[in-house]
Amino acid sequence: MVHLPPLPGSPRSSLSMGAIVDAALADVAALRDGGVDGLIIENFGDAPFFPVRVPDYTVASMAVVAREVRDAFPGPIGVNVLRNDALAALGIALAADADFIRVNVLAGSRIADQGLLHGEAHELLRRRRHLDACQVRIFADVEVKHSAPLTPIPIAQSAEEMVGRGGADALIVSGPATGQGTSEQDLQGVVAAVSQAPVFVGSGVAPNTARSLARHAAGMIVGTALKRDGQVTNPVDVSRVKALMGALR
C-alpha cells in the first residue's frame, strides 16, 4: 500500500502537493527496494471519507501523485479512492496508466461509518466499456473491512455474486479492520467459490502469517506490517518489506 498523506481540502491537510508527492515516492522507493510486486495508491489520510463521490480537487491530487508513482515503479499499480468512488478511481487509473482499481463495495450494500455504501457495478462497468478501458481490472472487496452487511449472507455466496453478477475481475478478502488478520477459513471459502477469479488477502498480513495465507491466495495487499514500528501512519520501512518478502520467498 502507498497510503497518501491528507490531500488538499481534507480535514487534516497540512502538506503542499510537492511534499505529498515526495512522501509517496519515498514509500514507493522503500517498497520497490524491498522487492514488492505491485502497489495500490490510496487516499488513506483523507478521513473522514466521503461515502461515494470525492471532490474534483481530490481526483486531481490523486492523479498527479499516481502519475509520479507510475514513472517511479515498473510493476502493476492500482488505485483505491476511499470510501467507494469507483468512477473516480477509474479516471485516475486511466490518467496515470494504472493497471487496476480497488472497489470496496462493488455490488450490494454495506453499513459503514460513512453510512450506507451501495455498489455501482452497473455504472462502473458501463463507464469502463464506454471509455474502452477494459484493460483496467476491477479488484472488489468481499465483505469489506470497517463495515457490516444489511443482512448476513454466506461469504462464498457474496463472492460468487461479486464475480458472476457484479463483474469483478479479482476479489479481496480482509479482516474486520485495517491491520487485523484475515480469516484463513473465509479465504479458503472464497477461493473455492470463485475458481475463475484470483483472490487476494486484504489485511493483517505479517511475516509469521504470510506463508500460510499464501498457500491459498493469488497475492496479498499489505500496509500496516510494512510501516516503521508497525504503525499505519508511519513511512514504509524497507527492512520490514524485505523481512516479509523473505518470509514468502
Residue 218 pLDDT exceeds 80: yes
Q: Using an 8 Å Cβ cutoff, are 133 and 160 in contact?
A: no
CA dist., res. 75 & res. 20, Å (int): 21
pLDDT at 114: 95
pLDDT at 206: 86
For range 30-57, the mean pLDDT = 97
For range 154-174, the mean pLDDT = 96
Q: Residue 193's pLDDT band (boundaries 50, 70, 90)?
A: very high
Length in residues, the chain: 249
Q: What is the phi/psi pair of residue 209, to 5°?
A: -115, -15
The answer, as to whether pTM is greater than 0.75, is yes
Judged on CB neighbours under 10 Å (0-12, 13-18, 19+), 37 is: exposed
Q: Which three cell numbers stand for residue 172?
A: 479481496
For range 221-233, the mean pLDDT = 95
More confident residue, 94 or 214: 94
* DSSP string across 97-142: T-SEEEES-SSSEEEETTEEEE--HHHHHHHHHHTT-TTSEEEEEE
Residue 207 pLDDT exceeds 90: no
CA dist., res. 211 & res. 58, Å (int): 37
56 DSSP β-pair partners = none
Residue 152 pLDDT exceeds 90: no
> The domain spanning residue 11 has which CATH number?
3.20.20.70
For range 155-169, the mean pLDDT = 96
pLDDT at 168: 98
Give the structural domain span for 213. 2-248
For range 79-102, the mean pLDDT = 98
Q: Using an 8 Å Cβ cutoff, are 55 and 76 in contact?
A: no
Longest dimension (CA), the chain: 46
Q: Using an 8 Å Cβ cutoff, are 218 and 172 in contact?
A: no
Bridge-based pairing of strands 137-142 and 170-173 is parallel
For range 190-211, the mean pLDDT = 91
pLDDT at 56: 98
Q: Which three cell numbers stand for residue 52?
A: 461515494
Domain count across the chain: 1
Per-chain mean pLDDT for the chain: 95
The packing angle between helices 56-72 and 17-34, to 10°, is 40
